[in-house]
Amino acid sequence: MIRFLLLLLAILCATPAVAGESASVVTSRVVATLVSDSDSAAPGQTIRLALRLRLADGWHTYWRNPGDAGAPPELTLDLPAGATAGPIDWPTPHRLAEGPIMTYAYTGEVLLPLRVTFLSGGTTIRAEARWLVCKDICVPEEGTFSLDLRPAPSAPSAQTPLFDAHARAVPRPSPWPATISAQGVLTLTGAELSPATVAEAWFIPDASGLITDDAPQRLSVAAGGLSLGLVTPKPLTALSGIVSIRDRSGQQTDVAILAEAGSTTLQETIALPTALLFAFLGGLILNLMPCVFPILAMKAVGLTRGAASGAGAGHAVAYTAGVLVTFAGLGAVLLLTRAAGSAVGWGFQFQSPVFVAAMAVLLFAVGLNLSGVFQVGGGLASAGSGLAGRSGHAGSFFTGLLAVLVATPCTAPFMGAAIAAGLAAPPAVTIAVFLVMGLGLAAPYALLAANPAIARHAPRPGAWMDVLKQALAFPMYAACLWLIWVLAQQSGPPGILSGGIALVLIGFAAWVFGLSQRAEGRAAWGGKGLAVVAAAIAVLSLATVAETPPDSAGAPAERYSPERLSRARAEGRAVFVNMTAAWCVTCLVNERVVLSSDAVRGAFAARGVVYLKGDWTRQDPAITSFLREHGRDGVPLYVLFPGGNTPSIQFPQILTQPVVLDALGVRTVAP
C-alpha cells in the first residue's frame, strides 16, 4: 500500500516544474525537489533556493557533521554567468543514537537553503544533489533538477512559507559568552540561564572528531550560567557548534556558539586525593567567611566555659557531629535531586526564597537571645534559636548544623573543583567529599575545644562574658540583614513585606516570651501562649514568600491585563502583547536579542506602541485565557494589534528583528 501511494505521488509530482518548485525526484524513501522563495529574479537581486527532502517514516538523512557515521547531502548548482551562491543554511539536527554510535540527522521534512545573487535577470537554474538516507540500511540517492525564474523583480512564491518555517529552525547567534576548558567543559554565562529556566541542554559540534559524540554530556546549572561536561579525545583551545536548551515547559532554544579557551569550570574533574584535599581546605577557609563567622563567634562564651569545666572535648565531638551530619544530608539531598532530573549545585537551598526568609528569622531570633530579650527555654518560640544557643552538647551539635546551613551561599577557594569532582563521581565518593569538607569546617573549633593546652590560655569566666554575649548579637543581625538583601533579589517588595512581618512577629514573640519567663502563674502561661501564637503566625507568613523572577532586558513594558489592552485599543493605539515566563528560555532570548534591540525599541517609541507584558511564571487565569483565544497552550506568544480595524498579527515563537519591524511598517534591508 505504501509503495502504491509513493508511486501515485511520483506520477503526480513528475510533471513540468511549477512556479517556485521543480519537478520531483521520487524513490520509495524520499521525495526531493528544488524550491525557491521567489518565482522571478531581477538583475542584482538575491533569492533563496533550497533542496527540499521529504523522508518516509523511519528514514533519516544527515547534518553537515553527520557524527559517528553517515554523510551530509550535497547540492551543486549550475548558475548563469556572474551569479553567486552562498553556503547552505543548515537547520538544527536531532541527536540520533544508532546502536553504539551517535549521529546528527533529520527526519520527516527538511529544507536545505542557500542564497543566490544574480547579475542578470530571470533564468533557468539547474542543480544536482546527492544524499544518503538510512533506516535499517543506508541507501545513497541522487537527482537532477531544473527551475525556471521569470526576468522580473522578485516576489514571494507559493513555497515562501517553507523558508519562513526553516528560519525558525536555524540556530540563532548565542547571546551568551561561551568558554571551553582544556578538559572539555563547555560553559555559557548569562542572566537568563538558571535552574529555574534550564531543564536540559546538549551540544552538537560543527566538525567531527572534536568530542566523543556518544559520551554523556553532564549538565550543571547555577544562577547565571550552565556547564556541559564533554568527553574530548584531546585538549581543546576552541569549539564551535550548537547548544540546544530545553526549558521547564519543554520549549527548545538553539544557539550557535564559538567557545574559546577558558578557565576551570564547575564541571571540571580532578583526581580523588586532590579533590579530598581541596574539600578539606575549602571547608577550613569557610570559617573565615562572613556567612559562618557570626555563628562560630556565638559559641565563644560556651567554649570558654567548657574549657574551664573540662568538657571541651565533648563539645568538640558534638559540634563536629553536627557539621558532618548536615554536610552528609546536603550531599544526599543534592544527589537525590539530581537523580530526579533537576540541575542543582552547592547552595541550592538558597534558591528558595522561603528558605532564605526562614534563615533570616532564625538568625534574628538567635540575635535576640544573645541580646538578652529572652533566655533559652523549651518553648516553641525559642526552639530555633534555643537549639544553637544552648550551652550543652546539644547546643554544640546544632551550632554545627546551623554553621553548615548558612555556609552554603559562600564558596571558599578550592571548593568549586572539589564539589564538581564529587558530583562527577559515584555517590559514595560524593558523600566522602562532602564529609571531608565538613571536617575542614569543624577543625578549628574542634581543635580549640579539645586541646587543654590551648584552652588554658583562654581568659577566666567573668562579667565580660555577658558583655561579649550581647556584642555577638550584632553579627547575627548583620547576617540577618544580608539574608534580607538576598530575599529582595528573589522576591522583590512583596517578599520583603512578608519577611518583615515574620521578623516583627518573631521579635514580638521573643519579647513576650522573655516577659513570661520572669512572671508566675497565669501571666507566665498566658505570655508563653501568646508567644507561641505570634511565632506560628510568623511561620505562616513565611509561606506567602514567593519568587519574583527578575525582569529580562527588553523594551519598557506595562503589565498585561485585559482591561489595559481594551483601553489602549479603544484609544486607537497599536498594542504589542508579549506573553512570557521566567522559566521559558526562548522567551528570554527573544526579549534580549529582539525586543531589547535599539531598532525595535525605537520603532515602538516612534509609533506610540503600547507594550504589554504578561508573566505566566505562575498560573494567571487572564493570561491563560488570552493564550487560548489565540490557539496556544503555552508561551511564548506575541501578538500585535495594529489599531483601528486592522486584524491582529500573531508572530512565530522564534522572533527576529525583521519580522517585528516589518509588522510595524519599518522597511528593512534583507541580509
Q: What residues contact residue 12 under an 8 Å CB cut-off, 6+ apart?
A: none
Q: Phi first, then psi: what are they for 291, rounded to 5°?
A: -70, -35
Q: Look at residue 18 in the predicted model and tell me its pLDDT.
A: 47
Mean pLDDT, residues 34-57: 92
Q: Look at residue 583 in the predicted model and tell me its pLDDT.
A: 65
pLDDT reading at 190 higher than 90: no
Residue 670: count other Cβ atoms within 10 Å of its Cβ.
Answer: 10
Mean pLDDT, residues 543-563: 67
Computed over every residue of the chain, the mean pLDDT equals 79
Residues 258-301 pLDDT 10s: 998 765 443 444 556 777 887 788 777 766 655 555 555 555 44
Q: State the first-to-last Cα distance of the chain, in angstroms, to the nearest integer.
A: 45
C-alpha distances out from residue 180 to 67, 256, 320, 389, Å: 20, 14, 39, 47
- Domain 2-168 matches domain 173-261 at the CATH topology level: yes
- DSSP reduced 3-state for 414: coil
What's the predicted TM-score (pTM) here?
0.54
- Asked whether the beta carbons of 374 and 310 are under 8 A apart, the reply is no
Q: What residues contact residue 364 under an 8 Å CB cut-off, 6+ apart?
A: 476, 477, 480, 503, 506, 507
Identity at 558, one-letter amino acid code: E
Query: Strand ranges (DSSP E) for 554-636?
Result: 558-559, 575-580, 610-615
pLDDT reading at 430 higher than 70: yes
| Helices 427-450 and 393-407, packing angle to 10 deg | 130
Q: Look at residue 212 in the predicted model and tell me its pLDDT.
A: 92
Q: Which stretch of 165-179, 454-468, 573-587 has the lowest confidence by average pLDDT?
A: 454-468
* 423/430 Cα distance (integer angstroms): 6
Q: Across 51-60, 386-395, 509-518, which has the greatest mean pLDDT?
A: 51-60
- Asked whether the beta carbons of 38 and 157 are under 8 A apart, the reply is yes
Give me the residue label for grid cell 584531546: 234
What is the CATH class of 2-168? mainly beta
Q: Look at residue 640 in the predicted model and tell me its pLDDT.
A: 96
Q: Look at residue 438 in the predicted model and tell me its pLDDT.
A: 84
pLDDT reading at 25 higher than 60: yes
pLDDT reading at 658 higher than 70: yes
On the question of a cis peptide bond just before residue 636, with omega within 30 degrees of 0, the verdict is yes
Q: What residues contact residue 245 under an 8 Å CB cut-off, 6+ apart?
A: 193, 198, 200, 201, 226, 252, 253, 254, 255, 585
Q: Look at residue 16 in the predicted model and tell me its pLDDT.
A: 41
pLDDT reading at 205 higher than 50: yes
pLDDT reading at 311 higher than 80: no
Residues 70-83 pLDDT 10s: 889 999 999 888 88
* 150/423 Cα distance (integer angstroms): 63
Nearest to 378 by CA among 214, 517, 170, 544: 517
Residue 429 exposure: Cα atoms within 13 Å on the Cβ side: 17
Q: Look at residue 341 in the predicted model and tell me its pLDDT.
A: 46
Identity at 318, one-letter amino acid code: A
More confident residue, 262 or 215: 215
More confident residue, 629 or 122: 629
- DSSP reduced 3-state for 658: helix
What is the share, in percent, of the chain residues with pLDDT greater than 90? 29
Mean pLDDT, residues 197-220: 91
Residue 238 pairs in a beta bridge with: 260
DSSP 382-413: GHHHHHHH-SSHHHHHHHHHHHHHHHTT---T
More confident residue, 583 or 368: 368
DSSP 91: P
Mean pLDDT, residues 323-335: 81
pLDDT reading at 429 higher than 80: no
- Asked whether the beta carbons of 599 and 669 are under 8 A apart, the reply is no
Kindly list the strands in the beta sheet with 84-85, ordered across the sheet, starting from the edge strand earlier in the chain: 25-26, 30-36, 46-55, 109-117, 84-85
Mean pLDDT, residues 41-59: 93
| Diameter of the chain measured on Cα atoms | 106
pLDDT reading at 345 higher than 70: no
Give me the residue label for grid cell 518573631: 506
CATH code assigned to 558-663: 3.40.30.10
Chosen CATH of 173-261 out of 1.10.10, 2.60.40, 2.40.50, 3.30.379: 2.60.40
Cell of 317: 565531638
* 621/627 Cα distance (integer angstroms): 10
Q: Look at residue 357 in the predicted model and tell me its pLDDT.
A: 81
Q: Which stretch of 135-144, 243-252, 541-550, 659-668 has the lowest confidence by average pLDDT?
A: 541-550
Q: Look at residue 135 in the predicted model and tell me its pLDDT.
A: 86
Domain boundaries, the chain: 2-168, 173-261, 272-542, 558-663
